[in-house]
């Protein structure tokens, strides 16, 4: 991470015209601080009379010292997957619903970012995962995820059947609607809805959460992040593997999905005083009295 920051990229939620005004306001503020500002090319398509240079995400990965994302968690997930290999720190401004990853607000973003530019920030590294699909021992698809890799049925009424191994050791055979392999970041997303535990993002672990398992004894399990997870499909129909609800691939009988920790991590910057527990209380409404 380069500091002090000199080249800042602004990335907005795709096809969300409501971010135009705050994005341009933030760009003007950054320019007034003497920073070079570039705007993601897809974001720039919706900006009117923008004087700022545009770049693709690939170009931003080579040129920027800092990326500020205006959008929801979905936007941040996509940007984190793309820019993490480039070691660019990310700041999130919430323009979505929950905002577990985008902790600044439109009201406080200017003051918070000003403090960050002065070096007043907390750095947090979050792990990502990768998955490969093998068909007859030949790789046919590869993807990465910030939240989760999910094997699930699509439009069929019957359960799917699969086998799971951890570091080569047989764990179980499962009949269920699907299986979620989640990072600590993803533990507050689909995995939480399926009954999985909330994991602090500093933990170096992954969780496997079955979706509507046929046997009540099949429970979520947490394993070390260095584990090699193998999911072997025994019964398929309209089944696919999905990465952060962003990309997917259709599976066939005997396909094997191998999930491992991604070699790179996402770097998030937070204001001084940031608390994950405060985020949980606020987003999950734990601070409401009964």
Known catalytic residue at 65: no
Locate 41 and state its tokens.
Answer: 């090319």
| Cβ atoms 120, 208 nearer than 8 A | no
| Cβ atoms 186, 148 nearer than 8 A | yes
| Cβ atoms 152, 240 nearer than 8 A | yes
DSSP state letter for 104? B
Of 40, 49, 65, 73, which one is the catalytic site residue?
A: 73
d(CA 290, CA 283): 17
- DSSP-derived 3-state class of residue 122: strand
Q: Which residue has the tokens 């500091």?
A: 3
The alpha-carbon radius of gyration of the chain (Å, integer) is 20
Q: Which sequence positions are flagged as catalytic?
A: 73
């Amino acid at each position: 991470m380069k500091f002090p920051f000199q080249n800042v990229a602004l990335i907005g939620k795709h096809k969300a015209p409501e971010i135009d005004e705050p994005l341009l306001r933030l760009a003007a503020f950054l320019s007034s601080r003497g920073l070079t500002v570039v705007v993601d090319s897809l974001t720039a398509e919706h900006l009117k009379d923008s004087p700022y240079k545009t770049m693709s995400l690939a170009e931003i990965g080579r040129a920027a010292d800092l990326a500020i994302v205006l959008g929801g968690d979905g936007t941040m997930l996509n940007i984190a997957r793309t820019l993490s290999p480039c070691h660019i720190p990310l700041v999130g401004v919430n323009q979505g619903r929950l905002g577990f990853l985008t902790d600044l607000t439109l009201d406080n973003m200017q003051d918070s970012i000003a403090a960050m530019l002065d070096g007043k920030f907390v750095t947090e590294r979050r792990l990502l995962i990768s998955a490969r699909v093998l068909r007859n021992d030949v790789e046919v698809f590869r993807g990465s995820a910030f939240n989760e890799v999910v094997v699930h049925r699509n439009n069929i009424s019957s359960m799917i059947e699969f086998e799971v191994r951890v570091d080569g050791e047989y764990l179980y055979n499962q009949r269920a609607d699907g299986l979620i392999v989640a990072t600590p970041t993803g533990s507050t997303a689909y995995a939480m809805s399926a009954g999985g535990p909330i994991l602090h993002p500093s933990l170096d672990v992954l969780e496997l959460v079955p979706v509507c398992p046929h046997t009540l004894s099949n429970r979520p399990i947490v394993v070390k992040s260095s584990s090699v997870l193998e999911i072997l499909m025994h019964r398929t129909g309209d089944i696919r593997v999905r990465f952060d609800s962003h990309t997917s691939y259709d599976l066939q009988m005997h396909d094997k999905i191998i999930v491992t920790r991604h070699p790179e991590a996402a770097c998030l910057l937070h204001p001084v005083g940031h608390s994950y527990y405060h985020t949980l209380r606020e987003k999950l409404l734990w601070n409401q009295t009964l």
